[in-house]
Amino acid sequence: MTVRTRFAPSPTGMLHIGGVRTALFSWLYAKRHGGVFVLRIEDTDRERSTEEATQVILDGMEWLGLHADEGPFYQTRRMDRYREVLEQFLASGHAYRCYCTKEELEAMRARQLEAKQKPRYDGTCRHRTEPRPGVDPVIRFKNPQEGVVIVEDEIHGNVRFENSELDDLIIARSDGTPTYNFCVVVDDWDMRITHVIRGDDHLNNTPRQINMLKALGGTPPKYAHVPMILGADGAKLSKRHGAVSVLQYREEGYLPEALLNYLVRLGWSHGDQEVFSLEEMIRLFDIKDVNKAASAFNPDKLLWLNQQHIMRSTPEHLAKHLKPHLAALGVPVDDEEKLAAVAKSQQERAKTLKEMAQNSVFFFREPAAYDEKAAKKNLTAEAKPALELVMEKLGALETWSAAAIHQAVNDTATQLGVGLGKVAQPIRVAVSGTSVSPPIDVTLEVLGREMTLQRLKKAVEYCGRV
């Protein structure tokens, strides 16, 4: 049987890393088993669902590369099917119309809470035969009152629920629209989902869903309820630490594979390995190995992993992702070859693409001004002779290569009887405007002879002025 998994977010809030992780687990599981990954948008709550949130889900999945093999399906377009099953349940006696008013329900709830009981519907309308005038009924599922439901969970093992703990849940509102738990069951069955991988906040819903599925004549899929992600402070994920739109991570300069790597390691591991390529994740990941306990989101480790992935990337891959960040800084680049060379020179010293872009602007545009401290320390009268000499040597170079540049810089230091730093640092400030850049030979090579000499000339003049 082909493995079929699904990711079924509701577009009521922003897609954040918690959702992305369950999506990733489902996607990985499908890929690993040569299965099918389905995307379904659960938008039955017309009040709270937004176009914007739907778009974030679609864009986020696209950016991360978690492509759906089927879908996106929208629940709002499946209303006819839900109505059909509703009628079927009503006809077969698996469901009934309930005429209890909201006020009555609230009163019942208050009484039960008062008596320190679990609030639940008491089944008043189970045997009602006549409609109640003036009340638009809801439809309730007639849950079995005896016996147990065993949820066979890939992560938690068998979890046992007494049917006597469950009540008759509402599956259609008084306006006739179906509710979440019901739609999920119909959809998962219709879409022939074999593995339901979702947050463990749904574990308690599962026995009801299994009961409805059985009423539908279906057989339960495999379940895997994955632990939730907590904020860095160990509390529930909030906007302060990670509960932001996934797209935020793109803006901040994270590589999609780095975010995925971070997320896959939350609650899952493979020996001591920390860095995983996408291929390794697919090959090594198994839902059975996922931990049961919730885990806290650690931005520092995500940052470190991003750097690891940047270091391991090909310059071309980096260039592709770096480009929009440079553009955002007002530096549109069309020289792909130079962009790749820049990325290569920076990939060992940037934790994010945003940072890389900021530190790479000087390769394309002359700095408006020198960093004050850097200039004061390095563009001094003492540095002037070094800059003049190295400028002369660089100008005379036959080939403009890192090796040749390295030689020229070294020779300058030797000739002047000073350390390499006394020559390299002033050059660095001269060309980049700051005291930080890739190794000076590489920097100059990528920058090109023309811009190098031009900026050195300016620096020499600057040294003369102070």
Partner RNA sequence: GCUCCCAUCGUCUAGAGGCCUAGGACACAGCCCUCUCAAGGCUGGUACGAGGGUUCGAAUCCCUCUGGGAGCGCCA
Which of the stretches 38-46, 50-58, 63-71, 379-387 binds RNA when contact is defined by CB under 7 A?
A: 38-46
Which of the stretches 86-94, 303-311, 326-334, 451-459 binds RNA when contact is defined by CB under 7 A?
A: 303-311
Single out the residue of 80, 93, 160, 330 in contact with RNA (rule: CB under 7 A): 160
**Cα-based angle 280, 285, 286 (whole degrees, multiple of 5):** 160
Which of the stretches 18-26, 201-209, 326-334, 362-370 binds RNA when contact is defined by CB under 7 A?
A: 201-209
272 binds RNA (CB under 7 A): yes
Catalytic residue flag (residue 102): no
**Cα-based angle 166, 170, 175 (whole degrees, multiple of 5):** 175
Single out the residue of 3, 191, 278, 294 in contact with RNA (rule: CB under 7 A): 294
Single out the residue of 50, 124, 205, 454 in contact with RNA (rule: CB under 7 A): 205
> Collapsing DSSP states into helix, strand and coil, what is residue 5?
strand
Alpha-carbon span 165 to 146, nearest angstrom: 9
301 binds RNA (CB under 7 A): yes
| Subset of 128-147 contacting RNA (CB under 7 A) | 136, 138
271 binds RNA (CB under 7 A): yes
CB of 326 to RNA, least distance (A): 18
Contact letters for RNA, residues 422-461 (x by CB under 7 A)? --xx--x------xxxxxxx--------------------
| Subset of 360-399 contacting RNA (CB under 7 A) | none
CB of 348 to RNA, least distance (A): 5
DSSP bridge partners of 178: 172
42 binds RNA (CB under 7 A): yes
Alpha-carbon span 95 to 178, nearest angstrom: 13
Which of the stretches 119-127, 187-195, 324-332, 393-401 binds RNA when contact is defined by CB under 7 A?
A: 119-127
Using an 8 Å Cβ cutoff, are 356 and 311 in contact? no
| Subset of 82-101 contacting RNA (CB under 7 A) | 101
How many CB atoms neighbour CB 261 within 10 A? 23
Pick the closer one to RNA by CB: 194 or 432: 432
Using an 8 Å Cβ cutoff, are 456 and 394 in contact? yes
CB of 2 to RNA, least distance (A): 26
| Subset of 325-364 contacting RNA (CB under 7 A) | 348-349
The sheet carrying 95-98 orders its strands as: 95-98, 138-141, 170-172
Using an 8 Å Cβ cutoff, are 179 and 44 in contact? yes
419 binds RNA (CB under 7 A): yes
The backbone region for 114, taken as left when phi is positive above 0, alpha when psi lies in -120 to 50, beta otherwise, is alpha
| Helices marked H in 47-166 | 51-64, 79-92, 102-114
Using an 8 Å Cβ cutoff, are 283 and 275 in contact? no
Active-site hit among 102, 236, 239, 373: 239
Alpha-carbon span 396 to 416, nearest angstrom: 18
Single out the residue of 76, 124, 163, 181 in contact with RNA (rule: CB under 7 A): 181
209 binds RNA (CB under 7 A): no
- Reported residue count of the chain is 466
Q: At a CB cut-off of 8 Å and minimum separation 6, what does 363 contact?
A: 338, 342, 446, 447
Using an 8 Å Cβ cutoff, are 132 and 191 in contact? no
Which of the stretches 198-206, 312-320, 324-332, 452-460 binds RNA when contact is defined by CB under 7 A?
A: 198-206
175 binds RNA (CB under 7 A): yes
CB of 102 to RNA, least distance (A): 5
Pick the closer one to RNA by CB: 110 or 327: 110
Write the CA distances from 433 to 362, 369, 389, integer angstroms: 8, 7, 20
List, by residue number, the catalytic residues.
239
